Structure 1
Amino acid sequence: MLVVSSPLACRAADEDPLQDFCVALNANDPQITINGMLCKPAAKVQDYDFASQQLRNPGNFSANLGSAVNLASATTFGALNTQGLSIARIDFRPRGLNPPHVHPRATEVLFLAQGTLVVGFVSSAPQNRLFSKTIYAGDLFVFPRGLSHF
């Protein structure tokens, strides 16, 4: 008797979009949908739909954390709908914090505009290793999808 065992391939990622873009029909009035928000008809999409000034200013500062998050997502910037992307501006006061958190469906790329910041994440293998670094103005840092980071 011959027994063959092979591991099953598993994939947990968002599928590619079915169209070039799907600008949210009304980004300020989200509706329940299965994948993203309803699309504005492509013939009505304009160049200004792909631009935003939302991150020009900081968000509201948290007294406890000393940080302010201003998040642009499909609900606030319709062009992000179905693109698998959001972007945030985070401003820190001295010794301000962004608590550890996870994005289960997205990789995060951080660009530091000014100052110095300690960043890091914990890998699941090997053995919950901490990857941490002090970054400086102009630096980028990548937090892989699904890993706890700060």
Structure 2
Amino acid sequence: KTQEESERIIRSTKYAPMGKRGVSISTTVTLFRDYTIEEYTAWANRELMTIVQIESEEGVDNIEKILSVGGIDAIMIGPADMTDDMGIPGQIHHPRVETAFREIIRACNKFGVAPGVHLNNMDDVKKWAAKGMRFITYSYDSKFFKDASKEALHTLRGLPTSK
């Protein structure tokens, strides 16, 4: 929601000099490579993504301050929480929501950060990808199972039965 929260996130997710994350270079963390601490922390700061969620109008209003901290690789919009915070739960096509999405895309592009969103509808994925969303998550596992089950039941119910 705020620049201060963004600063805390970077401090806790990045190694020095960008942040103050604790250092442990166990073999699993380094993918079994021989790194010095300096090599590993430089690699991790460069390669590991820090993704910040924006789920409120306050976050949209502060998006430039949030991004100005540096070290953020992507913004992920949480549309369910955002629309709930706006008092229009679930209305992701509402003009206020679309304005918020566009503002986040604009600010992310200004700061060289990937704008992103979680969507459950492929038409919305296509729409927002065309408008500049570059980090999109689609649907969720239980919806895939539900949709596949519905399609299978529809097919099975249409099969001829023997007498």
TM over 0.5: no
Q: Per residue, is there more helix in 1 or in 2?
A: 2
Normalising by structure 1, we get a TM-score of 0.29
Normalising by structure 2, we get a TM-score of 0.27
